[in-house]
Amino acid sequence: MIEMKVAGIALDAVTRSPIVLLKDGSDRRALPIYIGQDQARAIIGALENQKPTRPLTHDLIVNLFQAWDLVLDRIIIHSLQDNTFYAVLCLEQGQIKKEIDCRPSDAIAIALRLNTPIWVMEEVIADASIPVDRDADEEERQAFRDFISNLRPEDLIKQAGLSSEEESEQS
C-alpha cells in the first residue's frame, strides 16, 4: 500500500465532472478519482477547514465516531472494478477493529476531517495512476538500466555478504 495525500479537486475538461486528485509522497504519481458535486464540496470544505453552522453528513459521521470512541485508523482504496473505485474505513474501538465499505469520495471527506491517512493498494495505483514527473521516471529507469548493465555476479555475492566458502557450500 502507498500513502497518498489529497492534492486538490479539479474539473474534467470535457465532462466538467469533479475529480479528486491524490498524489503519492514523492509527487511522482497522481490518482484521479471522478466524484460527485456534493462530495467535491465536502472535500473542499475539509481542505479549507470550513466549519458549517450545522453538521453536514460527513461532519455528522465524524461526530458519531467521536461520541462512540471510534478511531478512524486509516482509509484504504483497495480495488478498481469496471471504472469504479472501492474503499473501506478502518475503524477501531479498543481492541475491536472493523472495516466498513465506503465510497472513496466519502472516505476521503471523512479522513480529511479527522486527519487520517489515506492508503491506496499498489495494484490500484498501477492500474489507474497517471505519471506526474515523466523526466524523473525516465531518469530512474535509466539509472536502473545502468546499474544492471554494470552488475557482475561477484558484486551480488559480496553484497549478500557470502564468502567464497559459503558460496561453494550453497551451490
Domains contained in the chain, CATH given:
2-132 (3.10.690.10), 135-171 (no CATH)
Instruction: Tell me if 48 sits within 8 A of 56, measured CB to CB.
Output: no
59-106: per-residue pLDDT in tens? 999 999 999 999 999 999 999 999 999 999 999 999 999 999 999 999
24-65: per-residue pLDDT in tens? 988 788 999 999 999 999 999 999 999 899 999 999 999 999
Residue 88: closest CA among 10, 79, 156: 79
Whole-prediction pTM value? 0.76
